[in-house]
Structure 1
Amino acid sequence: MKKVITTVALLLLTANIAVVAQRPPKAPEGMKWEIVSELTDEFDDWDGKKWTKSLWNYGVPVQMCVGNSGVTDGKLWIKATLDKDAERWFKTSRVMSKKRIKFPMYTECSMRTAHISAFNTFWMNNGNSHERDEIDMCENNSKPSIKEQENERPYMLCSQYFVVVDGDTERAHGNFDNRNLSADNPLRGVKWNEEFQRIGVWWIDANNIQFYLNGEPAGKVASKRNFTRELNIIWDLWTFDKPWTGGIAIKNDLLDDEINTMYVDWIYTYRLVPE
């Protein structure tokens, strides 16, 4: 049976589940949240009107491929596989929204990471390395190949922003360790590959961004430059041989279908409108 999105389901707490239901923060006085249907999906099937597979590459060894992402059994998935004879041996994919959105808005997804040394991401972007606005809600590596990072990255919501003007970059981090969630939060200290984590962002205005994790505020940033662009929502899975990523993926891990795939259960997106 298809999952049905209703206003009541979005705004009320759901009984008998471990975590409160997805919902945006309290709206400012005189405003209300309105769902953005083009950026909301329960992933009962692939909706080509909402999503596209954007295949521009990161650096070696990443190779973006159409066939490494899709929707199955109510989940969006992105899978890393091995092309052992290629320079770009890390075959993967990227899913990007067709619609763009600007502040004031809130978006939240439920995501479980692949258990490989790679960045499992949920982010927003518009532009290029020389001119762009970017908000990274999540970059998580649950199995860093750099051993010294094993006690940190599996629990870390790595969040940040970039405002790049004429090649000059302004950025700041708003990272959050899920071991710092409240004591009664059932996902406190749970590694990102073990359970679905709820990742949200309230893009408040041209300068202020509040991140959320499993229903709780989880890091915030304030830019000096104004955000000016509407942004696409993006998920992807990639690896790179640098300490800031947690290290390069282990090739044999890409052969294990039990660990080589990230999943997104749903996404809800809202904008603020006058009451």
Structure 2
Amino acid sequence: MQSLTPQILNRCTFLLFIAFLSFSLAGQDWKKLPVPVPAGPGQSWKLLKELSDDFNYRGKKKRFRRRWQDTYFNRWNGPGLTQWQGDHSSVEGGNLVIRASRREGTEQVNCGIVTAKAALMYPAYTEARIKVSNLELSSNFWFLSRDSRREIDVLEVYGGAEKGDFARRMSTNFHVFIRSEEKGITSDFNASNHVELPDEAYWREEYHTFGVFWKSPAEVYFYIDGKPLPTGSWAQAEMFDKDYTKTFMDKSAFVMDRPMVMILDTEDHHWRSRQGIIAKDEDLAAPSKNKMLVDWVRTYRLVEE
């Protein structure tokens, strides 16, 4: 048998590398979708691999662990009746699966959560393709600074809400939290924008892409299914404090100016469960309702060419 020459070995190695690269690129479900934000003269979008994933693999093994952790980034268990659990997230069928269940013997809800290990900083564009759950719980795609003082919500929707238009109306939100060591949050200045689909469709019925262009500390723009929301930057939004008294933030002092952690999760919220709006046991036990599916998430940083 003839031995392989160094030239043949090098060629084989090169071909294997090309095949691997082609397979990796083919696995990126978003590869044919352009970034909906023009980069501008002398600039380009660079994919941030540490904040992008197609979930075209199975199980939370090495590939998952490189980017994600299945816990919150501190010791908080979650809002309201939420009890975040690492075993309530999985990777299967080409999706990140975030599910919920009843915590046995209580009204509390076990909820899945996945947070990124790397932080995001402007200027950047990020979006995820998501099918929200059919529960009274909120399906979420959001960003929070590690000091818990700045928050950007790209998606918040109660996909299976029975009352009102909550299941038909998703929201994007901003929060600026004023905190003290003694009292915790003393003020929560927030601005929201509500979005409805044509023909009063429910968000839970189809996958949709939810994106945000974080251009600068005072300029943050949202994109739904590749189209910008008409409301524009948060800098033009009216703000309300936690007592719902209208006020205006000093944008020179309080802006989205610090790195943030990406979070994909489902939650119960205080203001709903305190009114008795609680996910039903039968819905939490139904696989057709209790899962939020994330097909992919991609993130780009704006760089100089």
Q: TM-score, normalised by structure 1?
A: 0.82
TM-superposed deviation, 1:250: 1.6
Residue 160 (str. 1) matches residue 173 (str. 2) = yes
Question: Match of 1:18?
Answer: none
| Matches of 1:199 and 1:66, distance apart in 2 | 24
Higher Cα Rg: structure 1 or 2?
Answer: 2
Q: 1:160·1:173 contact (CA, 8 Å) conserved in 2? A: yes
What is the percent sequence identity of the aligned residues?
A: 25
- The one-letter amino acid paired with 1:216 is K
Question: Match of 2:278?
Answer: 248
Residue 136 (str. 1) matches residue 153 (str. 2) = yes
Alignment of 1:114-133 (within 5 A): 114-128=133-147, 131-133=148-150
| Matches of 2:105 and 2:149, distance apart in 1 | 35
Question: Match of 2:213?
Answer: 202
Unaligned 5+ segments in structure 2 are: 1-19, 180-185, 236-250
**Alignment partner of 2:51 out of 29, 39, 51:** 39
Question: Match of 2:263?
Answer: 234
| Matches of 1:67 and 1:33, distance apart in 2 | 35
- The one-letter amino acid paired with 2:84 is M
Unaligned 5+ segments in structure 1 are: 15-20, 180-187
| Matches of 1:272 and 1:60, distance apart in 2 | 37
Alpha-carbon distance change, 33 to 104 in structure 1, aligned in 2, over 3 angstroms: same
SS at 1:175 equivalent: strand
RMSD: 2.7
| Matches of 1:123 and 1:155, distance apart in 2 | 19
**Alignment partner of 2:297 out of 267, 272, 275:** 267
| Matches of 1:245 and 1:269, distance apart in 2 | 36
Q: 2:197·2:203 contact (CA, 8 Å) conserved in 1? A: no
| Matches of 1:38 and 1:258, distance apart in 2 | 31
Is the helix fraction higher in 1 or 2? 2
**Alignment partner of 2:100 out of 76, 80, 83:** 80
- The one-letter amino acid paired with 1:106 is Y
TM-superposed deviation, 1:206: 0.5
Alpha-carbon distance change, 165 to 202 in structure 1, aligned in 2, over 3 angstroms: same
SS at 1:138 equivalent: strand
Q: 2:36·2:227 contact (CA, 8 Å) conserved in 1? A: no
TM-superposed deviation, 1:122: 0.2
